[in-house]
Amino acid sequence: MTVAKDRFTFWMFALLLLTVLCFFLDLFVGRYDLTFNDLYRGLFSFDQQETGQLVMREFRFPRSVTALLAGASLSVCGLLMQTLFNNPLAGPYVLGISSGSSLFVAIGSLTGISFFLQDAGMILLAFVGAILFGGIILFSSVRIRSQVSLLLVGLMLGSIAGALITTLEATASAQELRAYTMWTMGSLQQTHFDQLALFSILVTLGLLSCVFLIKPLNALVLGEEHASLLGIRIKHFRFFTILITAILSGTVTAYCGPIAFVGLAVPNLAKMLFKTADHSKLLLGSLLIGGSFLLATDVTIQLLEPYFLVPVNALTSLIGAPIIILLIVKRWS
């Protein structure tokens, strides 16, 4: 027990240091050389005439905070889904919530309405789509007992959304198609400083709500039947798990666009690292690994920016896909 506790303490301390390091690297690595003075004054005594303060306040700081919170949120969503469906390859997009966001953004951006081509319009549509599809899944979770059947409902919702998006793309103009394509690449720069408070509050509330799921998650590892015998109300637990996932993944998709593979890869890395089924440890581990992973990804993007531009969704896929392949090979070999 002592060895396991010492192992957990060591890795948590190491991950916390890594997250802090990646956060400050993300703040200060880039085209413009900035200082801690720019950070302090940009946040507490902002002068828009000062270029360093302007860059820090409007670009670097929102981008770094967005990367930290988005990575943590998607990773926690992935852990919730993998435990709920007892499937290490489940992720935050498995229920079609992200597909709902993509569909509504496609409806807005591919119809040429000017408001929906702006950042505020994109965020509003993505959030409405996530909440609507999340509502459908929540309603289905009350009526459907089987986890597999619920998973199939999510996959079918994703297929329907994909078919509708393809139809819209076929009839869209080149400008409309470009706007939507840019959104699907994902971006950590879409959250402005004045939007950061709402984004942070929504994500923080969603993450804190996961504390109430720790006991049911640990019980579910033993199977639904055992969890029921331990007093866990499976339908209620499933409902609140999906609700939290919808809020977290919907908020991240609304502000950042779709970001692939973080929710799939990071929870599995946390399980490999901590070698435990205790979700109090896995939630903290996933949160820190996910935040530091997306921060490190953004640092890499900024270092490569003078040579070529890499969309965040592309880089997370390039890193995450090989991890998923290794997991599949390991599971079925």
pLDDT, mean of residues 282-305: 94
**pTM for this model (two decimals):** 0.90
> Tell me, what CATH number does 324's domain have?
1.10.3470.10
**Is the Cα dihedral 254, 260, 262, 264 positive or negative?**
positive
| pLDDT higher than 90, residue 109 | no
pLDDT score at 306:
84
Q: pLDDT by residue (tens digit) across 190-208?
A: 888 988 998 999 999 999 9
Q: How far apart are CA 77 and CA 156, in angstroms?
A: 20
Structurally, the chain folds into a number of domains equal to: 1
Q: pLDDT by residue (tens digit) across 56-87?
A: 999 999 999 999 999 999 999 999 988 988 87
Q: How far apart are CA 312 and CA 175, in angstroms?
A: 22
Q: Which two tokens stand for residue 82?
A: 């993998």
**98: confidence class by pLDDT, cuts 50, 70, 90:** confident
pLDDT score at 112:
65
| pLDDT higher than 80, residue 121 | no
Greatest mean pLDDT among 180-184, 224-228, 284-288: 284-288
Is residue 51 classed exposed, middle or buried when 0-12, 13-18 and 19+ CB atoms within 10 A define those classes? exposed
| pLDDT higher than 90, residue 211 | yes
| pLDDT higher than 70, residue 293 | yes
Query: Across all residues in the chain, what is the average pLDDT?
Result: 86
309: left (phi over 0), alpha (psi -120 to 50) or beta: beta
Q: State the residue range of the domain holding 154.
A: 2-332
User: Which of 11-20, 146-155, 257-266 is least confident?
Assistant: 146-155
| Amino acid identity at 144 | I
Determine contact, residues 25/10, Cβ cutoff 8 Å. no
Determine contact, residues 174/112, Cβ cutoff 8 Å. no
Q: Where are the beta strands (DSSP E) in 41-132?
A: none
pLDDT, mean of residues 12-39: 93
